[in-house]
Amino acid sequence: MIRVLFLCASLTLSAAAGFAQTPAPVPDESAPPAAAAPAAPAAPRAWGSLSPQQQKLLQSYQGKWESLPPERQQALAKGSQRWVSMTPQQRAGAQQRFSQWRAMPPEQRQLLRQRYQEFRSLPPERQREVRESYNRFRQMPPERRMQLRQQWRQMTPEQRRRAVQTMHAPPPHRVPR
């Protein structure tokens, strides 16, 4: 059970920490565009089609807006709309997560991107299970979470691999007596 919780928490934390709900207060032009499966090329957006709140958030892009690729314009517009619709508490949390993301070394960010993609490639039912396990982990007392993290850190790579395999193995068949 501990191993399952750690794996689930690791996957979910990886996804949540880096990507899931982390819009930038002022989007970073150097950040790679979000990976999405576009059905058709994005149409360019006119600066005037943005709300006044979005324009204020994206004011550093005003002079170069028309020269941005349509996909970038769409991503910036979508991110700014999400930001505008957040409560102050949600914005504070997003700013904190964004600061943590920016402080990470590039290698760690890349690892989190990979883990997020692994999570997204799971079947929906498996994603739900991972989220549920993560939520159970988060509801544990902090002391218990620390204890479980310590146990996970002390496991060898082989023990972790076996834990993952055990988690994916079908439950043993029980013979009624």
Residue pLDDT, tens place only, 93-142: 999 999 999 999 999 999 999 999 999 999 999 999 999 989 999 999 99
Distance CA 96, CA 78 (A): 20
CA dihedral sign, ordered 71, 59, 82, 99: positive
pLDDT at res. 161:
84
- Position 148, amino acid: L
Distance CA 8, CA 132 (A): 9
With tokens 């990470």, the residue in question is: 104
Residue pLDDT, tens place only, 23-48: 444 444 444 444 444 455 667 788 99
**Contact indicator for 53, 45 with CB cutoff of 8 Å:** no
Distance CA 14, CA 45 (A): 33
Q: How many CB atoms lie within 10 A of CB 16?
A: 19
Exposure string over 104-138, b if 16+ CB within 10 A, otherwise e: eeeeebeebbebbeebeeeeeeebeebbebbeebe
pLDDT at res. 140:
94
**pTM of the predicted model over 0.85:** no
Share of the chain above pLDDT 90, in %: 58
